[in-house]
Amino acid sequence: MTQLPTHRGLRSGLALLLAASIAAFATPALSQNVPVPKPAPKARDSGVQMSAQDKVPMTTGATQTPPNPVIPNPNRNVPANVFATFDANQKAQAARVSSYLSSLQTLVGNFVQVGPDGSRTKGDFYIQKPGKVRFEYDDPSPIAIIADGSSLAVRDRKLATQDIYPLSQTPLRFLLSDRIDLLKDTNVVNVTADDVYISVTIEEKQALIGTSRLMLMVGVKDGQLKQWTVTDPQGYDTTVAVYNLDSSKKVDPGLFKIDFTNYVTPAN
């Protein structure tokens, strides 16, 4: 079975949560020893663009308190792909989620992450479609995740390491696609709704790694993304709840740049 490099074995529990949430079932394209990354550049006009160092409320209204992520039942049974049998209500809910996700071009906010062991961490995230994202974990975590549209880098400032993954092999691609149509996505295996959430489960099977799942949850009342849960091939869940969302801010393009040129790959 393909194994992740350093990040699954790091002493920091956060690195394990990170790997499970973002790249637990991605095959690393490149492992690098790197210098400690410099802080992302601030925008000249902080009122127009957001950078990773702008620790300010991310909404135009009142700042929200961190939510309590909804942890899925570990004994839940997700069916095989039966999308052809979905009823009209399920199809309508899937269409609503597709329309919402496709309408987003930028999104900034805060997140709370709960790992398989119940550990929690927080941070900020920045999304620019298609394919670009940055997750900054709050201190004392040394972790940052950067996707530039084709590659995804998992950085550890403390260890001065960086692992590179193809973005196409991570669950983030479902969130970062320019256009999303769940009604036509053959990986969608379940759509449910209650009074609070619309939940969409996406399943992916890879021959060498196994089956992984991504469950997206969108609020019924406001139609906004609330959280997602990644289930790795070993059956471990990592849940990320998001809040203080703002889709109107322009994001500093420098946040999504991965510096490959100055990073030296160690000799085998």
Report the mean per-residue pLDDT for the chain: 75
pLDDT band at 30 (very low <50, low <70, confident <90, very high): low
The rounded percent of the chain whose pLDDT value lies above 70 is: 69
pLDDT in tens, 89-124: 888 888 999 999 999 999 999 999 998 999 899 999
3-state secondary structure the chain: CCCCCHHHHCCCHHHHHHHHHHCCCCCCCEEEECCCCCCCCCCCCCCCEECCCCCCCCCCCCCCCCCCCCCCCCCCCCCCCCHHHCCHHHHHHHHHHHHHHHHCCEEEEEEEEECCCCCEEEEEEEEECCCEEEEEECCCCCEEEEEECCEEEEEECCCCEEEEEEHHHCCHHHHHCCCCCCCCCCCEEEEEECCCEEEEEEEEEECCCEEEEEEEEEECCCCCEEEEEEECCCCCEEEEEEEEEECCCEECHHHHCCCCCCCECCCC
Q: Peptide bond before 140: cis, by omega within 30 degrees of 0?
A: yes
Residue 213 reports pLDDT greater than 60: yes
Q: Give pTM, 2 decimals.
A: 0.70
